[in-house]
Amino acid sequence: MKSELIKAAFNAIVNNTKDLIFIKDENSVYYAASEPFVKMTDKSTVSEVIGHTDLEIFNSEALAKRYIADDKKLLSEDKDLINYVEPITDEDGKARYASTSKYVLRDKNGKKIGILGITKDITREYIARQRYQQEFKYLFELPKDTYAVCYIDVDDWRIICQRRQNISDGTIQECQTVAEMCEYAIESIADESCKAAEFYRNFTSERLRDVYSSGRRTLSFKYERIMSDNSSRWVRNDVNFLTDADSGHLCVMLSAKDINEIKLEEQRLFEAAKLDSMTMLLNHETSMEYITEVLANENDRQHALFMLDIDNFKDLNDNFGHQAGDEFLVEIAKELKNHFRESDIVGRIGGDEFFALMRNVSEESQIKRKAEDVLAIIESISSEYKNINLSGSIGISLYPKDGKTLKELYAKSDEALYKAKRSGKNKYLFI
């Protein structure tokens, strides 16, 4: 009776859990598995798993051999494996991660007879923690161009911690409360009508939650700021939304960076007629020169060339006029400039086409997030034009994988862009 009760309880757990549960014998043959585990193996039914080994059920031989090696080690060392973080099979081409615990099973005489495994999919938490740790390091290692970083708990509405450093032309004041920080920020902004002043005037927990709920994870804006020694310098504020790894609260990491020399360089470029006269982005010729220079001088790093085209832009001109079309392109250009890094190269090819070189990117996930941000920007701006199905298509090529010259990368990005448009638009594709 007792054994039947235990078996019934186990079956109930396996049939209703969201976790990946399995039982193997001492020869790594599967005896039981939950439906999520079966789905992870890309099989249709439990019967395709039961009685088989990893080499028989997994498409990846390397993955199967790793699982078998783990099992042998577990049985030989006779020590349970608890909460081990490991990659699991991809889903729709996206990497997944799991927390796995494996327990040695014994019979009533203590003989080892198999393994019980329980795996929880922690992809979202794992990626969030990686990003959290990456952003959080700025509280301890401020880059030379960063005046200050402030870490704010949006749920508790308080400053958790902050860090600042002296710059030769002044410092940014340390504040004790969020309200004090906003008040000081507004007072120090030279142009009261700029986007930064509006942002700080509406800096509330409700407003930040609304932005986060809309899908935005980063904000960026530039403005001229009066420093504590009364000098005036151009500053860029970056706002990164994070989930605190300990409390689970929504938080923001707010940084202030010195872009004065970059801004002055922009002005010099404009005076030298190297900017596109309408959008104020680099013109086609100048962008090509700069990108070529980067590829020549930074050929030991990975770069990504984005090519962007506005879908159905002609409909906007036809229905709202060319002035509206020009205003739309100017707004797109401004947001592109804000959302790419200062070190990146952003230019206008012509018409409704733009391109950008994202420099020195080690992870493909960074490139994907940037492409998603660009599509979100276009969607947000397009919402103002009713009944026009505006969107963006992006083609991306990687240096040096897809080409070692700008000509090669340009052709590859253009090819990827063409495929994105032909496959439904409003998406990004790598070549």
Element (H, E) at 232: strand 232-243
pLDDT at residue 359 above 80?
A: yes
Rounded to 5 degrees, what are φ and ψ at 142?
-70, 125
What does the block give as tokens for 255? 């940084």
pLDDT tens-place string over residues 307-327: 999 999 999 999 999 999 999
pLDDT at residue 167 above 60?
A: no
Measured CA to CA in angstroms, residue 170 lies from 166, 173, 202, 233 at distances of 7, 9, 26, 9
Kindly list the domain boundaries of the chain, sorted by start residue.
2-121, 127-262, 273-430
Record: fold of 273-430 = Alpha-Beta Plaits (3.30.70)
The answer to whether 322 and 278 are in contact (CB under 8 A) is no
As a residue count, the chain comes to: 431
Equal CATH topology for 2-121 and 127-262: yes
pLDDT at residue 380 above 70?
A: yes
Least confident span in 13-27, 84-98, 391-405 = 84-98
| 92/367: higher pLDDT | 367
Task: State the architecture of 2-121 in CATH terms.
Answer: 2-Layer Sandwich (3.30)
Identify the CATH assignment for 127-262 out of 3.40.50.150, 2.60.120.620, 3.30.450.20, 3.40.190.10: 3.30.450.20
pLDDT tens-place string over residues 183-202: 989 999 999 999 899 999 99
Confidence grade of residue 164 (pLDDT, cut at 50, 70, 90): confident
pTM for the model = 0.46
pLDDT tens-place string over residues 263-290: 888 887 777 778 898 998 999 999 999 9
Question: In angstroms, what is the C-alpha Rg of the chain?
Answer: 27
pLDDT tens-place string over residues 4-27: 776 787 778 777 888 889 999 988
Q: What is the pLDDT of residue 63?
A: 80
